[in-house]
A and B are shown apart, each in its own frame.
Chain A
Amino acid sequence: MTVLGNLALWVAFLVGIWGALTGFMGGLLGRADLQQSARHAVFAMCAALLTAVFALEWALFHHDFNVEYVAAYTSRNLPIFYTWSALYAGQKGSLLFWASVLSVFGSLALTFTSRRHAPLLPYVAGVVCAVAAFFVTVMLFAANPFARLAFTPLDGNGLNPQLQNPGMVFHPPMLYLGYISMTIPYAFAMAALLSRRLDTDWLVAIRKWTLVSWLFLSIGLLLGMWWAYVELGWGGYWAWDPVENAALLPWLTMTAFLHSVMIQEKRGMLKKWNLALVIGSWLLSVMGTFITRSGVISSVHSFTQSPVGYYFLVFLILAAAASFTLYARRLPLLDAEARLESMVSREASFLFNNLLLVGIAFSVLWGTLFPILSELVQGTKVTVGPPFFNQVNIPLGLALLALTGIGPLIAWRRASLPNLKRQFAVPLTTGGFVGLILLVGGMRDGWALMAIALAGFVAATVGQEFARGARARHRQYGEPYALALARLVGRNRRRYGGYIVHTGILILFVAFAGMAFKTETQVTLRPGERATIRSPYGWTYRLTHLGISQYDALNRQVTAATLEVERDGKRLGVMTTEKRQHVDGLGRPTFQPSTEVGIRSDLREDLYIVLGGVVNGTEQAVFRFTINPLVWWVWYGGVVLVLGGLVVMWPGGGSPAVKRVQAGYAVRLVGKQ
């Protein structure tokens, strides 16, 4: 099967180069035969890469330990679930995954894009082939997943225990899907530049793709946070690790694009800015891959480092140079079709929103790269950890949260003073009221107080938008309020889906603020002994150590500590936390013992228990007890955000026909009064 895999990679490589050449030449020369050939090349490359994936999965499932990748990331006793995910557990496999998914996305884009955009498609095929060919080149010449060992080990190393978690099965592919799908909007942007079709039409072609990409990135980031929380055992979900930052960067710029693109669609403005955002987002996604792969910045994601990072660096520099040179040459064709009419308008607020999003992205990038810069400038490498990022980014994040509430309150084109008064009255009162209650209630953490008060302001903004829309439909059509609300969302999915996303964001900010009140303590307990801890809500938890048991599971030896938990004298149940020593099929230890956290979640707080270890080989155990307020809301806010994203991208909501109906509804409403 490795022969088949290698053969498939070579076919993909050659076809990819052919597709890139014919795509660009076909587009530039207007030759239909070359254009058709480029299109077929994308499909052929897709087939070849899927064959390579099949070959690697075959080797993984058949425990072909002569294949270096299989021996490095699996063992005979690895559960099937994780054997499948070993495809992207290591660098070589994830490169194959990247290239394959890109070819699938490319094929889908070529198949389902409207004929209206046909002149762009040869270039799209060319870009997809060129990018995929780069990944195949890295595989063939630096990181071949089908490389064989000189001997065949009896068993493999097994998968890193931290990766043996359901979150880790879905988190990497989701992030990759986000990164990879961003190539399609980038390909359309390059196609628009190359073909000089720089009206707003190309944006229509990529609208769904940008949303898909943003949605996958959002899910990937949230799953990564969940994985870090339940698996790593440090009691948090975001550590400003360089790889986390690398995933956040394109998410921020894509979010900026999803806002500014509305101005181009509605007013024909910001063409230059939008193109720069699409190109920048894609380059950031490649840079994210470079940071993950190169090890140029130390990171907890060290299981993916290798010299292939330098291939990415060269690719990144070449791609950036080519993209921005072309962009600069087309600038004269990118003049706005309209002008901004007032400083106090939705357009202006979106511009400030973009400024903050891109500013935060810059600040995160700056902090991530600052150790390298410091070494270059001062000759001293410094550490840039959470204290730095929190100090720099919390004020910016809160300003962004404020704009999340302000933007929807300001009218398009020009807002009048009476309109502003009417729009802001309820949200401002709500935000102020929430802040006052917290202050009177004794909250003294300034950032947390501001975050929750601003969340109140944004919640009132969103609530007001939904209430006014539903009331208008109720008055106009006599619909019951629930139906009016449902139809309001259904008829204008982009707008109200966006508000649902804003709701998710405000929930996330409140949840982040909760971590300011985290409490933790370490204790040593013998069986029967109790520890008492107080939560930020004033409750008293009593945890009784019941004892430790040891047993064997499929691929691990488990040491499990059990504790009985009471809160204010009421028994809540039994919690277990484990130490796991993973072993291979021959019973040999494969990694250092890992920790399995015990978590009890409710709406208000999480009780988070970690078994540190034992004293002198006895049942006397060292525990860390952490109380994390409002963590559940991170996951809930994430679900709301994703649901909002799905509403926005659900087909049909933004069609021209619906817009006409809405316009008619507005006119009738005015006429009726």
Chain B
Amino acid sequence: MADCTRREFFGLVGGLASTALYRPLPPSAAQDSLPGTGPSGKLWDPSRAGRPLPPVTARDNDAAIQAIEKQLKCTCGCNQDVYTCRTTDFNCTTSPAMHQRVLQLADRGKTAQGIIDQFVRENGVQILMAPPKRGFNLAGYFLPSALILAAAAVLVLVLRRWARAAAATPATSAPAASPAALDATAAELERLRRELDRLPG
């Protein structure tokens, strides 16, 4: 470096700097279109937009297919049904594969129930978004309502017993004073009750 002239030194620094700063443009960058002006310009960096997707087909929006997929659980761990997952988590590769399987089974002429049964055979009952209504699962569906109805029946019985007991011993249980204590006639008390009834609440 001792023999290096000033011109050579600056040339070297310039060369290094331009090498360090040089970033080759991706081949697609020059092809980007302005919004709405091109048929379909290339993105500068497609990887930033997530997993590449195939174009949507008419069958992807088929209501019958969607209804089937809403009963099947995606196995990617998202806890969602196949339809919701494939139209929400666009990084997931499991739900599109399950969607293709549904389409495949439909193409073979299977009915909606047949497709669901096939998924259950292949993956177990856990593939369903809700357990089938049989055996122990019936407890899942009906126990809460049955318990609430039973509790309501018990509550009605208890309330009736309390009400009867209260009617039998009004002076001890209710804080309301007797007519004599109020120095009012029964008619006056009835009028008071009617007036109170008119008050809100």
Contacts and interface: CB of A to CB of B under 8 A. Distances in A.
Given A234-B80, A339-B162, A392-B141, A549 B155 contact: no
A669 B199 contact: yes
Contact of A300 (B34, B78, B162): B78
Nearest to B71: A387
B35 interface: yes
B79 A610 contact: no
Interface in A338-391: 338-343, 346, 348, 351-352, 355-356, 359, 362-363, 366-367, 370, 373-374, 377-378, 380-388, 391
Given A338-B173, A411-B197, A619-B43, A366 B52 contact: no
Interface stretch (B5-13, B14-22, B106-114, B123-131): B123-131
Interface string A26-69: 00000000000000000000000000000000000000000000
B51 interface: yes
Contacts of A359: 144, 147-148, 151
Contacts, number: 258
Contacts of A624: 87-88
Nearest to A583: B48
Interface string A201-234: 0000000000000000000000000000000111
Q: Which residue of B48, B125, B173 has the most chain A CB atoms within 10 A of its CB atom?
A: B48
B49 A614 contact: yes
A391 B148 contact: no
Contact of A612 (B39, B40, B87, B141): B87
B24 interface: no
Interface in B116-154: 124-131, 135-137, 140-141, 143-145, 147-148, 151-152
A441 interface: no
A298 B28 CA distance: 42
A673 B195 contact: yes
A352 B152 contact: yes
A591 to B, nearest CB: 10
Contacts of A396: 144-145, 148
A527 interface: yes
B77 A298 contact: yes
Given A355-B151, A416-B193, A612-B90, A527 B50 contact: no
A232 B90 CA distance: 11
Given A374-B131, A614-B46, A524 B55 contact: yes
Contacts of B155: 351-352, 355
A370 B159 contact: no
A325 interface: no
Given A381-B126, A391-B141, A610-B88, A341 B49 contact: no
A343 B50 contact: no
Nearest to A378: B136
Contact of A387 (B36, B130, B170): B130
A538 interface: no
A617 B196 contact: no
A323 interface: no
A40 to B, nearest CB: 43
A277 to B, nearest CB: 15
Contact of B166 (A339, A550, A581): A339
Nearest to B170: A341
Contacts of B61: 521-522
A546 B36 contact: yes
A299 to B, nearest CB: 7
A527 B125 contact: no
B35 A549 contact: yes
B45 interface: yes
B163 A342 contact: yes
B174 to A, nearest CB: 7
Contacts of A613: 49-53, 90
A121 interface: no
A520 B147 contact: no
A80 B90 CA distance: 29
A488 B84 CA distance: 48
Interface string A483-506: 000000000000100000000000
A184 interface: no
Contacts of A79: none
A374 B131 CA distance: 10
Contacts of B35: 527, 546-549, 562
A321 interface: no
A118 interface: no
Contacts of A528: 36, 39
Interface in A629-673: 666, 669-670, 673
B75 to A, nearest CB: 10
A460 to B, nearest CB: 14
A495 B136 contact: no
Contact of B90 (A408, A416, A595): A595
A550 B56 contact: no
Contact of B156 (A235, A343, A523, A526): A343
Contact of A416 (B40, B46, B197): B197
Contact of A343 (B42, B53, B160): B160
B185 interface: no
Contacts of B131: 370, 374, 382-384, 388
Contacts of B55: 524, 615, 620, 622
Nearest to B160: A343
Given A300-B78, A374-B137, A465 B200 contact: yes
A418 interface: yes
A619 B42 CA distance: 6
Given A613-B50, A619-B38, A385 B136 contact: no
A234 to B, nearest CB: 4
Given A343-B160, A547-B34, A557-B45, 11 more contacts: A355-B155, A356-B148, A383-B130, A385-B81, A387-B130, A472-B199, A495-B201, A522-B56, A581-B47, A617-B52, A620-B40
> Can you list the 6 inter-chain pairs with the closest CB atoms, starting with the nearest?
A547-B35, A617-B46, A363-B144, A359-B148, A385-B129, A382-B131
7 contacts: A339-B174, A378-B135, A378-B136, A526-B40, A549-B35, A611-B49, A622-B53
